[in-house]
Amino acid sequence: MIISRRQALQATAAGIGSSALPTAIQAAAPSARITTLLGRMTLAEKVGQLTLMNAAFRLPNEVGANTGLPVAQAEEQREIEAGRLGGVFNGFGVGWARALQEAALRSRLAIPLILGADVIHGLNTVFPVPLAEAAAFDPGLAQRTARAAAVEASAVGLAWTFAPMVDIGRDQRWGRVVEGAGEDVFLGERLAEARVRGFQGSDLSALDSVLACAKHFAAYGAAEGGRDYDSGNVSASLLREVYLPPFRAAIRAGCLSLMSAFNEVDGVPCTGNRWLMTDLLRDQWGFEGFVVSDWNADIEMVAHGYSPGPRAAAKDAFLAGTDMSMRSNLYRDHLAALVEAGSVSVADIDRSVLRILALKEALGLFEDPFNRIDPEREARFAKPAEHAELALEAARKSIVLLRNDDDLLPFDPTGKTVALIGPFAETADYNGSWTLFAGEGPSLAETWRKRLPETTRLVTSEGATVDATDEARIENAVTAARTADIIVMILGESSKMSGEAGSRADIVLPIAQQKLLAAVQATGKPVVVLLQAGRALALTDALAKAPTLVLTWFLGTRGPDAIIDILTGVASPSGRLPVSFPRAAGQQPFYYARKPTGRPAHDAAAVAFNTGYVDVGNKPLFSFGHGLTYGRIAYDRPALSGNRLGARDQVQASVRVTNEGAREAVETVQVYVTRPAGLVTKPRLELRGFKPVTLAPGASAEIAFDLTADEVAGVETARGRIIVPGQAKVWLGGSAETAVSVDLDVAV
């Protein structure tokens, strides 16, 4: 299936026929029921609908997340019964959900709660972290895993997920790059659309659909230094061209809630940024859903030095267009007084309340507040077999084969001694960040022991923890390595080293593990390195030169099985990098779609008086889009169906690929463009499409992409999208670094 921006838009538009900003699900206009209900609500009850609190109330056998709960269970129930709480999040279980909805129905107007959680990459079944799944370059897969997550989330009483996270992540020091789709805008847009469709389905009232929430609006990933929550100085054109498009794609796909980001944009914190939350989101984009603040993001405007105090922060956030306040209780404590003081109008309050009530109605909660609270469904989806198969498929497709220099992979362990060495050999840490409710599954060693051929001997040695080792541990590992025919090392980050508040200044493999790797490699035995990470790392020394290198990210519930399948050839690697791997941490932020500048960087080592460093070259260690297969893929020169493209035309770019290897391969062919000069500076090249093709040994295939003038030369400007005429290039290949270009004249 060809994935290009135009087809994605057409697919979306076809689904709804709207001309403005097409959304797959239109927020229902307030029904008579809701407008009548609004007319009966007191101001305090209206403000209650704008207040969201994390789960304090839970039955003894239920679990909740976000520890450090602000209120006791009894107090939270009182808030709900008094109509002062419209939603609760990060609780779990139908027992918890039923208790809260029953409390809501005891309130004067019996308005049901909306129950949400951070279901980012699965719930009971944990799928690969979103950055890993992005490596599959497969929006259909992303939609399916989001759908499965929605089924499991709705089976434990949840109707809302705080996902997809659609922040573009170009600085790998930022811990939250793990939650998104990586560095590229086009891939980010396609996965945003897919995940929204997966979570919401085609009918929000269906009991296995949950409301999606695109986050964090906006430019959270631009944090300076990759420091979480820090400011990012983003130009207007960078906002329009990089950080906003995935949100627009999510909204076009029907996403009906957005979460404000902690950071500021152009000197104004997002939560209080009226240009962002109203002028752009509502007036220009026509967004019809509601905006929830991130955790305490409204009160944090005081710490930002933007709002002089809590009451001002409540006013700033609400008047900017943030409809619902998460966890700070700022709206509960100040909105009524602001109305009485004439700073906030009842009409503004009503507008936000209607948005939230309309979505509660769209979710079917007024028809039946217990529609997602069914013990049988909860039991049914506690560990569904069909999701286990999907989790295995997703894990396999997320694995990226970075190097296989000696064709060591795949290997047959039959009759061999395999040494499995590293901190994650016997210790399971595969779920990754934002796995709120599921525990870890079996370790790689435990999983492999169940699958090994009789004649295989598996020896394991930790050799180092994530960040510590000693001579004895290393000696033990080397001894184990010496007895082996092949060594598999599983090294990398722990899941705590990425995710929220997981920024790292030096994105290298912890030194202890580097020592372990060097000692094991010194044995001269064949070594396969499995690298577990929630980001692109700066691979240095022995790791940078490892001849057999497999990126395993955090693959979730079926991670160990998928790793074994790829190592032994039960499945073949097809993943591609959604983030560039730099040569040094100091290169961050590092991404392929860089601007050429007036002194373009030379690909070779540093060249004086050109963009780059004196100590590190400009090329990545592994490029965006890179990923090997077990085949040997050769590309012919690309061709165009014409070398001139008019405004209403399209051009077909094609290339023949051949598998010259001895094993079947799935190659992901990518198409990039260099847009014509004019209006604003643009990146050297940018992804515009990708297509997987399965090639048997010796087989060839012609892969073609249809591109419009907008895809080749469109620029987002303050005046809307403009097609810039002039000389363009179309690139085709297996990565941003290896793609080959053909010239194209855009004449509009």
- Residues marked as catalytic: 294
Residue 85 CB, shortest distance to ligand GLC, in Å, is 16
Which residues lie across from 654 on neighbouring strands? 639, 704
Residue 501 CB, shortest distance to ligand GLC, in Å, is 8
CB burial of 442-456 (b: ≥16 within 10 Å; e: otherwise) equals ebbbebbeeebeeeb
Residue 75 CB, shortest distance to ligand GLC, in Å, is 20
Give 729's contacts (C-beta < 8 A, 6+ positions apart).
Answer: 673, 674, 685, 741, 742, 743, 744
Taking the C-alpha atoms of residue 636 and residue 180, their distance in angstroms, rounded to an integer, is 33
Residue 233 CB, shortest distance to ligand GLC, in Å, is 21
Helices (H) and strands (E) in the chain, counts: 23, 28
Please give the C-alpha separations between residue 141 and each of 14, 144, 202, 392, in angstroms, as whole numbers.
21, 5, 17, 12
Taking the C-alpha atoms of residue 738 and residue 533, their distance in angstroms, rounded to an integer, is 24
Sort residue 299 into left (φ over 0), alpha (ψ -120 to 50) or beta: alpha
- The answer to whether the beta carbons of residues 97 and 105 sit under 8 Å apart is no
CA 46 to chain centre: 34
| Dihedrals phi, psi of 479, to nearest 5 degrees | -60, -45
Residue 118 CB, shortest distance to ligand GLC, in Å, is 5
Give 127's contacts (C-beta < 8 A, 6+ positions apart).
Answer: 121, 133, 145, 148, 149, 390, 391, 394, 395, 556, 557
Residue 259 CB, shortest distance to ligand GLC, in Å, is 6
Closest to ligand GLC by CB, 228 vs 393, is 228
Q: Which residue is nearest to ligand GLC (CB)?
A: 162
Please give the C-alpha separations between residue 605 and each of 223, 589, 622, in angstroms, as whole numbers.
28, 18, 16
Closest to ligand GLC by CB, 130 vs 139, is 130
- The answer to whether the beta carbons of residues 140 and 454 sit under 8 Å apart is no
The amino acid present at 415, given as its one-letter code, is: G
H/E stretch holding 659 reads strand 650-659
Closest to ligand GLC by CB, 220 vs 635, is 220
Closest to ligand GLC by CB, 161 vs 674, is 161
Closest to ligand GLC by CB, 67 vs 455, is 67
The amino acid present at 199, given as its one-letter code, is: F
Taking the C-alpha atoms of residue 240 and residue 79, their distance in angstroms, rounded to an integer, is 41
Q: Which stretches of 106-167 are assigned E, i.e. beta strand? A: 114-117, 160-161
- The answer to whether the beta carbons of residues 418 and 486 sit under 8 Å apart is yes
Closest to ligand GLC by CB, 215 vs 504, is 215
User: Which of these, 476, 446, 447, 443, lies nearest to 461 by C-alpha position?
Assistant: 476
The amino acid present at 568, given as its one-letter code, is: T
Residue 324 CB, shortest distance to ligand GLC, in Å, is 12
Closest to ligand GLC by CB, 162 vs 731, is 162
Residue 274 CB, shortest distance to ligand GLC, in Å, is 21
Residue 215 CB, shortest distance to ligand GLC, in Å, is 6
Residue 296 CB, shortest distance to ligand GLC, in Å, is 8
Q: Give the helix, strand, coil percentages of the chain, each rounded to 5.
A: 35, 20, 50
Closest to ligand GLC by CB, 215 vs 377, is 215
DSSP 186-219: HHHHHHHHHHHHHHHTT-TTSTT--B--EEEETT
Closest to ligand GLC by CB, 13 vs 63, is 63
Please give the C-alpha separations between residue 245 and each of 239, 241, 444, 518, 716, in angstroms, as whole numbers.
8, 7, 39, 43, 9
Closest to ligand GLC by CB, 162 vs 411, is 162
Residue 75, CB half-sphere, CA atoms under 13 Å: how many?
8
Residue 291 CB, shortest distance to ligand GLC, in Å, is 13
**Three-state SS string across 287-308, please?**
CCCEEECCCCCCCHHHHCCCCC
Residues at the interface with ligand GLC (CB under 6 A):
66, 90, 118, 162, 215, 294-295, 500
User: Which of these, 145, 125, 148, 119, lies nearest to 134 by C-alpha position?
Assistant: 145
Classify 728 as helix, strand or coil. Answer: strand
Closest to ligand GLC by CB, 71 vs 607, is 71
